[in-house]
Amino acid sequence: MKVLYMMRKPEEKGLAIAHEVIDDSATLIFNDDLQEGEKEEILAEVDIIIGGRLTDEQLKIANNLKMQQSFGTGVERHNLEYFKEKGIIFCNNHSHAFVIAEYGFSLLNAASKELLSNDQLLRKGSWDYKKHESISLYDKTMVFLGYGEIAKSFKRLCEPFNMKFLAVKRTEQCEDPSVNVFLANQKKEALKKADFIFNSLPLTKKTTSFLDEEEFKIMKENTIVINVGRGKTINERALYNALKEKKIKGAAIDTWYVYPENRFGEDQEPDICFPSDYPFQELDNIIMSAHRAWVTDIPLFESPENLIQNVNRFIRGEIPENAVNFDEEY
């Protein structure tokens, strides 16, 4: 089988891993090695693609495609209807969940201790250490919206603080007896108890505006919302009003509503772009970061082993991991 690697080509160590791990029966082709005139020709021949987000035109060209393995977790920007119609397997990736969870935990600590506000005070010479009081994590209730690999990794970081854990998820199944599960139609019951809410939901028809005005109305005044899921799973207007009107204590958000066109170019400065049509940047009870939880010193793009191992499962006739359920859109 021909496998096209559409992510940035790994450097020497990652490249050696890719060639070592790929099944002997497969031919591994790197998109970065192709001339412009060759790309369409190869695209028409490949059986499997690793990484990339194919345009509708590219999908039409790739008429031999049987599987695509994404680097990312979110899948809403891919044409899932086309994959379903053509019977093409699409797999997402959870191998970097621990990195996202660690960043989310940092957001939780920064928000609950009001680190940014206290930092700004001392920069002005003020030692008013009672103005922005900390909220301890100990003995509090954490509500997970979604309970996938990111949430599970995040929970492990929270466990030393003797928290109570609730999870709102689409099924009742949960291997962890310390997590009390609520279905989506029971979410308000869980949210009423929340001191902290950790959102890692994907964006689907069912999760769009999963937190809306009605949900914010029933939250405690000291509730803090952490979002590393998709931005639009929390209604933009409802979140802004809840923060502005102090209906909740605060929020720390890494995923947003408006993105610049130029964001990832290595040789370009990112476009100036506020992340919402609402002026979140004017609020004093939110921590904002530019969808960068995955950016660390761990070279995620240089470690293709997990992605290739999943491709190998397909090549060998096994069931690949993390195949997207097209009806659930995740």
Residue 303 has pLDDT above 80, yes or no: no
The verdict on residue 293 lying in a domain is: no
Which residue range forms the structural domain that includes residue 155? 97-288
Cβ–Cβ under 8 Å, residues 135 and 248: no
Cβ–Cβ < 8 Å for 3, 313: no
One domain for residues 235 and 144: yes
Count up the domains in the chain and report the number: 2
Is 187 part of any domain? Answer: yes
pLDDT value, residue 23? 97
pLDDT at 267 over 70: no
How many whole angstroms separate alpha carbon 252 and alpha carbon 246?
14
Q: Are 115 and 180 found together in one domain?
A: yes
Contact 304, 28 (CB under 8 A): no
Whether 330 is in a domain gets the answer no
Over range 67-96, report the average pLDDT: 95
Based on the domain organization, do 91 and 114 belong to the same domain? Answer: no
Q: What are the beta bridge partners of residue 198? A: 144, 226
Would you say residue 262 has pLDDT above 90? no
3-class secondary-structure state, position 167: strand
What is the predicted pLDDT for the residue at 300? 72
Q: Say if CB 52 and CB 8 are below 8 A apart.
A: no
Query: Does 128 have pLDDT greater than 80?
Result: yes
Residue 218 lies in a domain: yes
Contact 14, 303 (CB under 8 A): yes
> For the residues 119-145, what does the mean pLDDT come to?
96
Residues 68 and 126 in one domain: no
Q: Does pLDDT of 314 surpass 80?
A: yes
121 and 221, same domain (yes or no): yes
CA nearest neighbour of 330 among 147, 176, 165: 147
Asked if residue 110 lies in contact with residue 252, where contact means CB atoms within 8 angstroms, the answer is yes
Give the CATH number, domain containing residue 181: 3.40.50.720
Chain position carrying tokens 């492990």: 156
Same domain, 157 and 272: yes
* 242 within domain boundaries: yes
Do 52 and 108 reside in the same domain of the chain?
A: no
Q: How high is the mean pLDDT of the chain?
A: 95
pTM for this structure? 0.93
Spatial separation of the C-alpha atoms in residues 284 and 282, rounded to whole Å: 7
Q: Answer yes or no: do 126 and 66 share one domain.
A: no
Task: Indicate whether 55 and 144 sit together in one domain.
Answer: no
pLDDT greater than 70 at residue 236: yes
Q: Which two tokens stand for residue 178?
A: 């310390």
Residues 26 and 154 in one domain: no
Q: What is the pLDDT of residues 246-259, one digit of tens each?
A: 999 999 999 999 99
Average pLDDT over every residue of 168-190? 97
In a domain, 199, yes or no: yes
Kindly report, residue by residue over 180-232, the tens digit of the pLDDT.
999 999 999 999 999 999 999 999 999 999 999 999 999 999 999 999 999 99
Quick one: pLDDT band at residue 298, thresholds 50, 70, 90?
confident
